[in-house]
């Protein structure tokens, strides 16, 4: 072996036929082509990358047509709210669009501190730090905190960003079956003592299934085995708990039972970016050392302002959270009554309709799109073939009548009948 230019090891012998500069053989490209060809063979339009012409909320406009929309994470209907837009515009007028450099290198804007204080308060935490992307937050934070001597134990359905962070860290990675705290306990008992630090990574509300972990059990487990507990609240803030504070409010545990609260600004908070809330030493370290913070531009001021205004609206208007939860519960009940497999959904904000094959899911999504319902099909290999599904993200802005019409359209599409337009 010799060192490659990037510093990694590579095999001495070059492959017999080097692809050289041929981009058509890049790994993964063939898979994308195969999916495209399969869609074309079935006569299905590509459901991805469709341009929305306005705000993608509970309703949206695509190609000049109105749709009921279940494919956006606008949980509380705050993206598009004039107050949020006004806060972003005022921040642009004051600071411009960009933060123009890393906060460490060149300074920050008052709105960064204000947003971080408000987020820290949500978790009754000592401090908080924001990053330019939710995905980058998980990658850089897990990558920074853990190292080769450490152990990362995570739910098998953890988001790609946390999995990438775990890979980057070089720590030993062990996945346990979804939501199975007993399996996690067995893994900790088997591996914990051979490692320096241990990090247990969960999500407060899982985006593929819309279900939740037994957080009190996992918190007890982390304590017993001297492991740090990190919970990704991307789909929990604004969705779980009576006032939307998240999974700890939903299950009634103290927020300090979790060491590292992670979240994103892109869903309930209708902006873009990520955050970590926790104890002061954690945040101090990340502010000075996490590469995705130190070597990246500060959060854009209009995004910070939009996220802060959204958090304030969530707190001032808890009816939004109650309406979202009621909508999800209604969708879940009607879908179940119609005989659909909704998996383990808790009916709090996300409801999957599991159709058993990628072809069935793609066909159903296409039939619903014709009828005026925009919902994303989740196909193999993102999920196992047998659990290919449509995934419905509910919003506080859907009406009961729209939800009833949507489930009726699902029933009609299942029967193979042409589905009447619902909008």
- Closest contact distance (angstroms) between CB of 312 and ligand PMP is 20
- Closest contact distance (angstroms) between CB of 158 and ligand PMP is 8
- Which residue out of 135, 235, 323, 398 is catalytically annotated? 235
Site for ligand PMP in 294-323 (CB under 6 A): none
Q: Which is nearer to ligand PMP, 229 or 366 (CB)?
A: 229
**Are 133 and 155 contacting, i.e. CB atoms less than 8 angstroms apart?**
no
Q: Which is nearer to ligand PMP, 135 or 405 (CB)?
A: 135
Spatial distance between the Cα atoms of 231 and 172, rounded to a whole number of angstroms: 19
Site for ligand PMP in 2-41 (CB under 6 A): none
Q: Which is nearer to ligand PMP, 374 or 402 (CB)?
A: 374
| SS3 assignment, position 203 | strand
Spatial distance between the Cα atoms of 198 and 190, rounded to a whole number of angstroms: 12
Q: Which residue has the tokens 């302002």?
A: 305
Q: Please identify the residue of the shown chain whose CB is closest to the bound ligand PMP.
A: 134
Q: Residues, the chain, total? A: 423
Q: Which is nearer to ligand PMP, 203 or 209 (CB)?
A: 203
If we measure between CA atoms, which residue out of 245, 242, 267 comes closest to residue 78? Answer: 267
Spatial distance between the Cα atoms of 121 and 99, rounded to a whole number of angstroms: 24
Spatial distance between the Cα atoms of 161 and 227, rounded to a whole number of angstroms: 20
List the one residue from 112, 159, 245, 405 that touches ligand PMP (CB under 6 A): 159
- Closest contact distance (angstroms) between CB of 234 and ligand PMP is 3
Spatial distance between the Cα atoms of 234 and 246, rounded to a whole number of angstroms: 9
**Are 413 and 419 contacting, i.e. CB atoms less than 8 angstroms apart?**
yes
- Binding map of ligand PMP across residues 231-270, x = CB under 6 A, - = no contact: -x-xx----------------------------x-x----
Spatial distance between the Cα atoms of 208 and 392, rounded to a whole number of angstroms: 10
- Which residue out of 161, 169, 207, 310 is catalytically annotated? 207
- Closest contact distance (angstroms) between CB of 244 and ligand PMP is 16
Annotated active-site residue 159? The verdict is no
- Binding map of ligand PMP across residues 192-211, x = CB under 6 A, - = no contact: -----------x---x----
Q: What angle do CA 174, 178, 181 make, to 5 degrees?
A: 75
Computed over its alpha carbons, how large is the radius of gyration of the chain? 22
- 135 contributes a contact to ligand PMP by CB under 6 A: yes
Q: How many CB atoms lie within 10 A of CB 300?
A: 24
Spatial distance between the Cα atoms of 364 and 111, rounded to a whole number of angstroms: 44
Total site size for ligand PMP, rule CB under 6 A: 14
- 134 contributes a contact to ligand PMP by CB under 6 A: yes
Annotated active-site residue 235? The verdict is yes
Annotated active-site residue 395? The verdict is no
So which residues are the catalytic ones? 207, 235, 267
> Which residues sit at the interface with ligand PMP, rule CB under 6 A?
133-135, 138, 159, 161, 203, 207, 232, 234-235, 264, 266, 274
């Amino acid at each position: 072996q010799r060192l490659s230019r990037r510093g990694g090891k590579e095999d001495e012998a070059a492959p017999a036929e080097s692809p050289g500069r041929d981009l058509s053989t890049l790994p993964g490209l063939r898979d994308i082509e195969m999916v495209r060809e399969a869609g074309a063979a079935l006569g299905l339009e590509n459901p991805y990358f469709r341009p929305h012409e306005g705000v993608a909320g509970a309703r949206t406009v695509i190609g000049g047509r109105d749709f009921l929309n279940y494919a956006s994470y606008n949980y509380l209907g705050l993206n598009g709210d004039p107050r949020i837009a006004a806060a972003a515009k005022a921040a642009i007028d004051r600071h411009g669009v960009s933060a123009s450099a890393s906060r460490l290198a060149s300074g920050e804007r008052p709105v960064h501190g204000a947003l971080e204080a408000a987020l820290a308060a949500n978790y009754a935490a000592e401090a908080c730090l924001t990053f330019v992307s939710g995905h980058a937050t998980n990658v850089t934070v897990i990558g920074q905190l853990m190292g080769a001597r450490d152990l990362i134990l995570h739910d098998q359905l953890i988001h790609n960003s946390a999995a990438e962070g775990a890979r980057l860290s070089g720590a030993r990675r062990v996945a346990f079956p979804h939501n199975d705290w007993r399996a996690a306990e067995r893994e900790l008992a088997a591996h914990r003592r051979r490692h320096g630090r241990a990090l247990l990574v969960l999500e407060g509300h899982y985006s593929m299934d819309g279900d939740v972990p037994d957080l009190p059990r996992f918190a007890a487990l982390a304590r017993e085995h001297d492991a740090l507990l990190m919970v990704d609240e991307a789909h929990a803030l604004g969705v779980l708990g009576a006032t939307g504070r998240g999974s700890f409010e939903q299950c009634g545990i103290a927020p300090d039972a979790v060491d590292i609260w992670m979240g994103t600004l892109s869903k309930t908070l209708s902006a873009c970016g990520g955050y970590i809330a926790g104890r002061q030493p954690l945040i101090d370290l990340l502010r000075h050392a996490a590469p995705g913070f130190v070597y990246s531009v500060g959060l854009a001021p209009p995004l910070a302002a939009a996220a802060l205004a959204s958090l304030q609206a969530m707190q001032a208007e808890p009816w939004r959270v109650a309406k979202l939860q009621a909508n999800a519960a209604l969708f879940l009940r009607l879908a179940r009554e119609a005989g659909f497999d909704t998996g383990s959904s808790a009916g709090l904000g996300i409801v999957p309709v599991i159709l058993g094959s990628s072809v069935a899911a793609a066909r159903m999504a296409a039939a619903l799109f014709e009828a005026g319902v925009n919902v994303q099909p989740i196909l193999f290999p993102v999920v196992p073939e047998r659990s290919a599904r449509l995934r419905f993200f509910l919003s506080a802005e859907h009406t009961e009548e729209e939800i009833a019409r949507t489930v009726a359209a699902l029933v009609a599409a299942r029967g193979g009948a042409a589905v009447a337009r619902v909008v």
